[in-house]
Structure 1
Amino acid sequence: MPYALPPLHCALKTMSRKKALLLLLLLVLSTLSLLIHQSTHLNWSPKPSSLGCPPAPSSRPKHTSVAFLKTHKTAGTTVQNILFRFAEQHNVTVALPHHACDHQFCYPRNFSARFVHPHTLPPRIIASHLRFQRQELRRLMPNDTLYVTILREPVAMFESLFTYYNQYCAAFKRVPNASMEAFLANPLAFYRPQEKFSMYAHNTLLYDLGGDNDHSPADPAYLPHFLRQMEEVFSLVMIAEYFDESLVLLRRLLAWDLEDVLYVKLNMRGPRSKGNISSEALAAHIRTWNALDAQLYDHFNATFWRKVAEAGRECVAEEARALRRARDQLLRRCFGGQPQLRPATQIKNKELRPWQPSSKVDIVGYDLPPAVPGSGAPPDERCLKLAMPEVQYSRYLLRKQSLRTRRRAMPHRPLPPRAVPRPVRPLPLRHPAMPKAA
């Protein structure tokens, strides 16, 4: 018997070691699983400010009634995508154009509530292209609606307009060799105010805002009066050149979370489709030809920085940095890092292929990886919506909201009355046969 104990002791010791290794392995796997799980549920909350900045007003409920005037070539598509995703996440109805208007509200006509698809009524958010018409929007939107728009520096904006709409705007098509320099040397030789898309060639910002883009800039009364009207309506005029700072002000205005304003840049041109402002003289010609837009931008750029100063410049800058960190984290989750811009022909998912205005302009977009790097999991739907172009997202929301409207409109069919059950006749009791008397 004494000789049997050492092998048994060794066996028990070996089993204990195996159990310890097994437990250690389980612990490692659990830790890895927890890390992967946490990576898919990111924490977007900004760190407490080291500058003593007050946090965004989280005590207020999120404001869900927003009218965004989407101006042309000003990063408006990216803002629209932010609003679309917020609306979908919070089950808020978005006003979308009627089929007859395509994906814009019958632009360049003055906006009318008749241009809104009936399946998207009553809305709380509107964010597609329209020409501003104050009374019609007030008739459509709730009384607590906050009005927001975005402007871009007129020189960069005009270069983008000239390239993007070269095959739509007759004034641009007339120019020999599509030369912006030739157009600006004598704009009136090519520009016809009565033509349908002439507004793309002259003071486009003012036109989008409902103003007279052909009004003489020499009139000292016109633009100041127009600016006062705009200040009465718009709670925030964002500036495209300071996009992140603009989103900080937007989220504070609406009491939204940082997560609600994360984005990727959409509707961008490829390198070969970008022009070059080759000289200060050319830039000066652009500002002179678009003098009303230039004054409009300068005014609201100054207004924007006053709002930043009121919020605290360093505080806004710090929150913008937090936004960029959260955005980078989101991009790692969706794309495995900074997403690569691709021509539409190289994007496999047709829901992510951006619309191309003409064969002479490349609008680039994104393709999602088949699986999130590091986790093996497919990208979730939020990543898809983050990169979805305007046309596809508008159609998707219209289908979704139309389905919801049809379900609500279905007549309530009462259930058929239950049949009254017949009373069950009790069966006669059968007593056991009595035994015969002996």
Structure 2
Amino acid sequence: MSQKKIFLVFVAISTVSFLLHHGGSWTMEAFHLGCPALCSHSSSSSGLKPKHTNILFLKTHKTASSTMQNLLFRFAERNKLTVGLPILACGHQFCYPRAFSDQFVHLRNLTPNIITNHMRFNRAELRRLMPNNTVYVTILREPSSMFESLFSYFNQHCQSFKRVPNGSLEAFLEDPWRYYRPDEKYSMYARNTLTFDLGGDKDRPSTDEVYARAFVAEVERVFSLVMIAEHFEESLVLLRHLLSWDLEDVLYLNHNMRTSASKDNVTNGLPTKIRAWNHLDARLYDHFNASLWRQLAVLGPACVAREVRLLRRAQERVIRSCFGGGLPQQRTAVQIKNKDLRPWKPSSKVDIVGYDLPVNVSRGGSGGGGGEAASELCLRLIMPEVQYTRVLQRSQVLR
């Protein structure tokens, strides 16, 4: 039985037991009894641990990291924090795929509280830039689904992919070395992308067991939390505990997603081939996926289940307020009228979906009577990363 199935069995048993002992109530009071570390942090005189505000989130590629970035941007704005952003010459990334340097940071005279735009990790440079108590967080995704996404998303940027006849993922995996060139500029999209983003050697041979073990151990030493995209909500539970945040701090909508027509099915033995080709990424994922479930087990199945349920309820309230009902309709870039809400498209062959605000919200209403502040929340909740980065760049210059 898998770790997740075992965990879910514990959740079911613990939840039934909890409800029997608390009369079936899912109140915040009962929640706090089960998770005492998660009470409100609104009063600095209450003796509760203050929210942690110095965070480096390594935004890895095609891992739900854009969703996390939006969450962190909103947290920074809400708490008037300084976000380390790329210089204009770097676009919305820190001159990726070059290794991160503080020379790539806009307004370098300001010490950042949060950094979350794409970079290639460089621990030495970041230590010089960030406060000493910075918490390091990143996110991983299962290698086979991630590689399919990379192959589709960067097909017109990565020469290793462009060489493949008919853009066939199957053909690439049949003989990767026929198409792959390790030293090309965007070759990191074609092999061990997670390893590269984390600062590792993407082309280290699979026979080098010493390197693989040492690299995993280094990531574990530096990063306080490695989230898992397939278990995003459970990862947010751990993040909230780690940073002593409130429920509102981890509300989210999914960002930077492809349409169904832009996706391929990964079947017929392709996952095995993908994991073999991306052996270091597979090693990282397997290690930190197991680590995530160990941490959740320590926290307690009933606690995790209650918090996920509360998170979903809170998100439903925000969505009702912003969009007047269920989840907002996802639209392709050409369907979104407001150019400030159109997601970036990597090529004409890939459709990325985003969101548009209802007319009553875009004109200053919230759909729920919250006024201008609620309208701004709704706008930020759906703003794509390129536009949001520019908004923060302008606001921090003015500040």
Say whether the fold is shared (TM-score over 0.5).
yes
Which of residues 303, 309, 314 is equivalent to 1:321? 309
- What residue is the counterpart of 1:184 in the other structure? 173
Q: Does 1:221 align with 2:210?
A: yes
Cα separation, 2, equivalents of 1:138 and 1:349: 39
2:289 aligned residue: 301
Deviations 1:359-390 (A, max 9, x none): 00001100010124465967610100000000
CA distance in 1, matches of 2:368, 2:94: 43
Q: Determine if contact 1:94/1:120 at 8 Å carries over to the other structure.
A: no
- Matched AA of 1:63: H
* Matched residue SS, 1:221: helix
Residues in 2 aligned to 1:144 and 1:292: alpha-carbon distance in whole angstroms: 29
Q: Distance in 1 between matches of 2:109 and 2:390?
A: 12
The residue aligned with 1:6 is none
| Counterpart residue number, 2:30 | 48
Contact kept, 8 Å, 2:258 with 2:351, in 1: the verdict is: yes
User: Residue 7 of structure 2 corresponds to which residue in structure 1?
Assistant: none
Other-structure match for 2:190: 201
Asked if 1:356 is matched to 2:345, the reply is yes
Aligned residue among 403, 409, 412 for 2:398: 403
Contact 2:122 2:199 in 1 (8 A): yes
Residue 387 of structure 2 is matched in structure 1 by 392
SS at match of 2:359: coil
Aligned with residue 121 of structure 1, among 100, 110, 114: 110
- The normalised TM-score by structure 1 is 0.80
Q: Does 1:71 align with 2:64?
A: no
Secondary structure (helix, strand or coil) at the match of 1:147 reads: strand
Deviates more, 1:59-68 or 1:112-121: 112-121
* RCO comparison, higher one (Cα < 8 Å, 6+): 2
User: Shift of the alpha carbon at 1:47?
Assistant: 5.2
Which of 310, 328, 343 lines up with 2:298 in the alignment? 310
Distance in structure 1 (CA, Å) of the matches to 2:111 and 2:368: 44
| Cα distance, 1:329 vs structure 2 | 1.1
**Structure 2-normalised TM-score?**
0.87
Q: How does 1:116-265 map to 2 (within 5 A)?
A: 116-118=105-107, 121-265=110-254
Measured in 1, the distance between the counterparts of 2:264 and 2:209 equals: 34
* 8 Å CA contact 2:333, 2:353 repeated in 1: yes
Contact 2:37 2:244 in 1 (8 A): no
1:369 is the counterpart of 2:351:
no
Give a deviation string over 1:55-86, Cα, whole Å, max 9, x none. 42641111100000000000000101111000
Q: Which amino acid aligns with 1:251?
A: R
Q: 1:302 to 1:120 in 2, by over 3 A?
A: farther
* TM-superposed deviation, 1:52: 3.0
* Residues 50-59 or 288-297, more deviating: 50-59
Aligned partner of 1:285 in structure 2 is: 273
Q: Structure 2 vs 1, CA of residues 321 and 120 (structure 1 numbering), >3 Å: closer, same or farther? A: farther
Distance 1:377 1:84 in 2: 21
Contact 2:321 2:368 in 1 (8 A): no
Does residue 383 (structure 1) correspond to residue 378 (structure 2)? The answer is: yes
Partner secondary structure for residue 224 of structure 2: strand
How big is each residue's C-alpha offset from its partner over 1:174-201, in whole Å with a ceiling of 9 and x where there is no partner? 0000000000000000000010000000
Aligned length: 359
Offset from partner CA, 1:240-274 (integer Å, 9 cap, x none): 00001111111111111100110100001112111
Consecutive unaligned residues of structure 1, counting only runs of 5 or more, are 1-44, 405-438
RMSD, aligned CA:
1.6
Question: C-alpha displacement at 1:234, in angstroms?
Answer: 0.4
User: d(CA) in 1 for partners of 2:393 and 2:125?
Assistant: 21
Deviates more, 1:184-193 or 1:286-295: 286-295
Q: Which amino acid aligns with 1:54?
A: P
Q: Which runs of 5+ in 2 are unaligned?
A: 1-26, 42-47, 361-365
CA deviation after TM superposition for structure 1 residue 229, in Å: 1.0
Q: Percent identity?
A: 62
Deviation at 1:46, TM superposition (A): 4.2
Equivalence for 2:99: 110
What amino acid is aligned across from residue 207 of structure 1 in structure 2? F
**8 Å Cα contact 1:104/1:130 also seen in 2:** yes
